[in-house]
Chains A and B, each alone.
Chain A
Amino acid sequence: AQRVTQPEKLLSVFKGAPVELKCNYSYSGSPELFWYVQYSRQRLQLLLRHISRESIKGFTADLNKGETSFHLKKPFAQEEDSAMYYCALRLLKAGGTSYGKLTFGQGTILTVHP
């Protein structure tokens, strides 16, 4: 069965410092990887997905199939980045279509101090 692991429950950095939220997955097939974010008093929402290969709010994430990782990075953290971050995985079928089920990690609470 697929599994997503976020080893850090809490992560604290100072404003302007680089930040990396770790995500490892276990699945032998082709996965789709996502990062979701939940800001205080807001709904859980999609931050980015690996197939888009885009930078959102300064965050990037690269899928490393060799290391089965999808770490989220930002070179200069801002206070407004403080939130709960979830890494998630969805399975891809052989034809490229997807199963609907999304498996989430345990989440990492990021706190950016002024």
Chain B
Amino acid sequence: DAGVIQSPRHEVTEMGQEVTLRCKPISGHDYLFWYRQTMMRGLELLIYFNNNVPIDDSGMPEDRFSAKMPNASFSTLKIQPSEPRDSAVYFCASSPLGPSAGELFFGEGSRLTVL
């Protein structure tokens, strides 16, 4: 397994543009998480899914952010419209149930720069 796959790895866009980040979790994992990493706040949980259903989206900053998981092998995080303060590294992670529950497997991240 190639692990969690995220795209794009880097995105530079202008304020007001729509940004879509994509994630393919590890096959068989029941949980999918979206985190945002900044120097000031560290790793913040934005939203997580269990079996494709959003469980907790209380970390989503505002209505400009939305996330979907249409099936077990794909999720998107969308920002519309984007703002400079959204610049960060966005991580997707997946996790199985069972004895390994609690170990998150992270993607390489998508570095977003909003000018």
Contacts and interface: CB of A to CB of B under 8 A. Distances in A.
Contacts of A44: 43, 91, 93, 104, 106
Interface residues of A, number: 20
B25 interface: no
Interface in B64-115: 91, 93, 95, 101-104, 106-108
- The A contact surface, by secondary structure, is strand
A68 interface: no
A88 to B, nearest CB: 8
A43 B108 contact: yes
Interface stretch (A58-66, A71-79, A101-109): A101-109
A101 B106 contact: no
Interface string A77-91: 000000000100010
Give the interface residue-count category, chain B: 20 to 34
B41 A101 contact: no
A17 to B, nearest CB: 25
A107 B42 contact: yes
B102 A45 contact: no
Contacts of A86: 42-43
A70 to B, nearest CB: 14
A49 B102 contact: yes
Contact of A106 (B42, B56, B106): B42
Contact of A102 (B55, B102, B107, B108): B102
A101 B102 CA distance: 8
Contact of A46 (B33, B55, B103): B103
A103 B48 CA distance: 12
